[in-house]
Amino acid sequence: MKQAYVLIIGAGLTGLTLAYLLRNTDSEVVVVEARNRLGGRIHTVGGDGQNTIEMGATWLGPAHTKLKELLDALNIEIFEQKLGDKAIYEPSSMGPHQLVTLPSDQESSYRIRGGTMKVIHTLVSYLSDGQLYLNEPVQKIKKSDEGLRVISRNLEFKAKQVVSTLPPKLLAESIQTEPSLPDELTSIMQQTHTWMGESIKFGFSYPTPFWLDESLSGTVFSNVGPVPEMYDHTNFEGDQFALKGFLNGSYFSVSGEERKTMILNQLRKYYGSQVDSYMKYYELVWANEPFTYRPYDQHVLPHQNNGHKVYQNSVFDGKFHLAGAETSPVSPGYMDGAVRSAFMTFERLMG
Ligand SMILES: Cc1cc2nc3c(=O)[nH]c(=O)nc-3n(C[C@H](O)[C@H](O)[C@H](O)COP(=O)(O)OP(=O)(O)OC[C@H]3O[C@@H](n4cnc5c(N)ncnc54)[C@H](O)[C@@H]3O)c2cc1C
C-alpha cells in the first residue's frame, strides 16, 4: 500500500495547480490520473514542426485574473486571438454567406503562447519522481479511522486528505465511496453540467493562411452548420497556420471520416478547393471521453449547479474535498475556475 498525506485525483489544471501550490509544504502529495496523458480537458495536439492545435481549452479573457496570475508566476506568455475586422457569416440556408464587419469594441480574448499544454507541462515539472501515477483510474474511496483508502485500477493508497478534481457528474458516476456521499450532494453532482463535455472540436493545419485575404476571413459564424463557429489558429510567431472550430455536438455518433467530409463541404463554400490542401486533420469528440463526460439522465442547462454551495464544504470529517473547475463559484467551468478551485482547496488544506 502506498502512502500520501494529500492524494489528488486527476492531473488536469486543478490537480496540477494544487500539487504546485503544495510543493513547499511538508505534505507528501501524490497525483493519481486515469488517462495515460496529462491535462484532462486541456489537450494540445500537433507540433513536431507543424502547428499545435487545441482540442480542449484555448482562450482566456480579462476576467480570468487568477489564471493570469498563475501564468505570470510560471512565466508563460499569452497573445491576442486574431479575429480580423471581418467574419464570414451564414445567416440561413435560404441565402448565400456574407462577409460582415465585426464590431470594433469587442472584448479581446487571448491564447497561450506555445499552446495551452505549456501550462500543464510547466506545472508537472515541479513534481518529483514517484508523485504522479498515470493510467490509474480511481475506482473506490473508503473512509477509515486513520484517513482514507483510495483504490485505483492496480494500486491502493492510504491518505490523510483526498481531493477529487473530477467534474462532479463524473465523480458521482464513476467512483464508489464507502460510506456513500450525502444524498443531497450526490443529487447535485448528478445534475452539475460539465463544461464543454458535449462539444466536438476540429482543426486543419495548412501550409499557407489562404483565409488571411482581403475578401476572406478565418472567423466564421454559421446558423446553417454543421460548423457553427471557426477561428484562425495561427501560432504566436505567425509561421504555422491552422483553422480551428466547433462542430455541432449532435454529430458525435457518425464516423470521423463522415465528420471531416461534412466540415470540408461547408468550408469549400467559403474558400473553394483551397481547403483541401490541409496537411493534417484533427478532431476530438468529448462526449466519447469516459474520463470527462457521462450522459445526463435529465436535461441539464449549461453551467447548471456550477459553483454550488455543496462543493464549498468537505465531507468525511474534513478529509475528502471536491475541487475542479465546476466547483468554483467564480468562472465556473473555465480554466480560471479550475485555478481558483485549486487555490481555495489549498487554503482549506492549510487551514
Ligand atoms: C472542447 C473544450 C474547450 C474548452 N475551451 C475553453 C476555453 O477556451 N477557455 C477556458 O477557460 N476553458 C475552456 N474549457 C474548459 C477547461 O478545459 C476546463 O475548465 C479545465 O481544463 C478544467 O480543469 P480540471 O482540472 O478542473 O478538470 P479536468 O481537466 O476535467 O481534469 C480532471 C482530470 O481527472 C481525470 N480523471 C477522470 N476520472 C478519473 C478517475 N476515476 N481517476 C483518476 N483520474 C480521473 C481526468 O482524466 C482529468 O485529467 C474547454 C473545455 C473543452 C472540453
Residue 152 is part of a domain; what is its CATH number? 3.50.50.60
One domain for residues 24 and 128:
yes
Kindly give the distance from the C-alpha atom of residue 322 to the centroid of ligand 1, in angstroms, as a whole number: 14
263, 288, 313: which is the final residue of a domain? 288
Minimum CA distance residue for ligand 1 atom 14: 57
Residue found under cell 460539465: 194
Minimum CA distance residue for ligand 1 atom 35: 10
Confidence of residue 3 (pLDDT cuts 50, 70, 90): confident
What is the C-alpha to C-alpha distance for residues 24 and 350, in angstroms, rounded to an integer?
Answer: 12
Binding-site residues, ligand 1, Cβ < 6 A: 9-15, 32-35, 40-42, 56-60, 137-138, 165-167, 170, 174-175, 195-196, 199, 201, 286, 291-292, 324-325, 333-338
pLDDT at 32: 98
One domain for residues 284 and 204:
yes
Indicate the residue type of 31: V
What is the C-alpha to C-alpha distance for residues 181 and 238, in angstroms, rounded to an integer?
Answer: 50
pLDDT at 152: 98
One domain for residues 180 and 208:
no
One domain for residues 282 and 204:
yes
Query: Quick one: what percent of the chain has pLDDT higher than 90?
Result: 90
Average pLDDT in the chain: 95
One domain for residues 224 and 327:
no
130: region left, alpha or beta (phi > 0 left; psi from -120 to 50 alpha): left
One domain for residues 224 and 86:
yes
Closest approach atom of ligand 1 to CA 41 = 29
Q: What is the mean pLDDT of residues 147-152?
A: 96
253, 288, 323: which is the final residue of a domain? 288
The CATH number of residue 73's host domain is 3.90.660.10
Burial class (CB in 10 A: 0-12, 13-18, 19+), 72: exposed
Closest approach atom of ligand 1 to CA 291 = 37
Q: Rounded to whole angstroms, what are the CA distances from 66 to 95, 259, 325, 339? A: 44, 37, 12, 7
One domain for residues 191 and 204:
no
249, 265, 288: which is the final residue of a domain? 288
Minimum CA distance residue for ligand 1 atom 5: 57
Per the structure, the complete domain to which residue 124 belongs is given by 1-40+116-197+294-351
Q: Which is nearest to 341 in space by CA: 323, 321, 314, 319?
A: 323
Instruction: Work out how many domains the chain is built from and give that number.
Output: 2
Closest approach atom of ligand 1 to CA 32 = 43
One domain for residues 49 and 33:
no
Q: Which is nearest to 40 in space by CA: 130, 177, 137?
A: 137
Kindly give the distance from the C-alpha atom of residue 14 to the centroid of ligand 1, in angstroms, as a whole number: 8
Q: Which residues fall within 8 angstroms of residue 133, CB to CB, at 6 or more apart?
A: 30, 31, 32, 33, 152, 155
pLDDT at 83: 87
Of 89-98, 202-211, 282-291, minimum mean pLDDT range: 89-98
Closest approach atom of ligand 1 to CA 323 = 26
pLDDT at 95: 86
Q: What is the mean pLDDT of residues 192-200?
A: 97
One domain for residues 33 and 126:
yes
Q: Which carries the bigger pLDDT value, residue 260 or residue 2?
A: 260
Closest approach atom of ligand 1 to CA 174 = 41
One domain for residues 124 and 81:
no
One domain for residues 70 and 133:
no
One domain for residues 105 and 193:
no
